[in-house]
Amino acid sequence: MPAKGSLSVICGPMFSGKSRELIRVVHIAEIAGQRTALFKPRIDTRYSHTDIASHDGIRKQAQSVDTAREILPVLARHTSLPEVIAIDEGQFFDRGITAVCLWLVDRGRRVVVAGLDRNFRGEPFGSMPELLACADEVVKLRAVCMRCKDPRVTAVLPQRMIDGRPAPYDSPEVMVGGADFYEARCLDCHEVPGKPDISTLVQGVLVDEPNHSFAPWTVNPGAG
């Protein structure tokens, strides 16, 4: 039985260096003599229609596809499957992306996916949660918060800006853009006007309704 490959996921907010790290992984593989194939969603045309590009200008030629299922026919045109398959902007792919990645892993390939793990609302984004659950390795990057500029590199969320103001919660989930529409923000500086108050959503879980007491936090000092 052939040895299995691996699935690595690089995630984090915008401007954290995800695409740069993906390109670095591919570059090292090529130095080691491995064959590579790179893919990106066709919807992402911010810097190039054909290249994977980091926000600071690092580029690598890739194949643009509309759906996850298109990746396999492209790979089939190779004499044999490349040893390393890299996929950028994983959050823009349909749910089939996980099945494609695991199919390649089963055939001994190393698959590396980069993408936003959370959307501008701070919620799980697209297919990324499933990819993260199936990953053998997760690299979670951070960025400098563009509001408080904390040097500890605390930004974990993308902040969407419309006309200089935070985008409301009911804005479309997908809006492709760069520094013209997005900033990296830390949890304290991230703003989403109109976002549901989570305290009302979990009230029934945290509060014992008949007694109005916080039952889940009751601790028995003698326990353990």
Secondary structure (DSSP) of 36-86: EEEEEETT--SS-SSEEE-TTS-EEE-EEESSGGGHHHHHHTSSS--SEEE
| 89 among known catalytic residues | yes
Mean pLDDT computed over 121-132: 97
Report the domain count for the chain.
1
Residue 93 lies inside a defined structural domain of this protein: yes
- 152-177 pLDDT, tens digit per residue, is 999 999 999 999 999 999 999 999 88
Residue 213 lies inside a defined structural domain of this protein: no
Residue 209 lies inside a defined structural domain of this protein: no
- Whether residue 25 has pLDDT greater than 80: yes
Look up the domain containing 55 and give its range.
6-198
- 175-202 pLDDT, tens digit per residue, is 988 888 999 999 999 999 999 987 766 6
- Whether residue 209 has pLDDT greater than 70: no
Residue 205 lies inside a defined structural domain of this protein: no
Residue 150 lies inside a defined structural domain of this protein: yes
Catalytic residue among 30, 70, 83, 89: 89
* Mean pLDDT, the chain, integer: 89
Q: Which residue would you say has higher pLDDT here, 69 or 217? A: 69
Residue 216 lies inside a defined structural domain of this protein: no
Residue 134 lies inside a defined structural domain of this protein: yes
CATH number of the structural domain spanning residue 68: 3.40.50.300
- Whether residue 26 has pLDDT greater than 60: yes
Residue 223 lies inside a defined structural domain of this protein: no
- 74-95 pLDDT, tens digit per residue, is 999 999 999 999 999 999 999 9
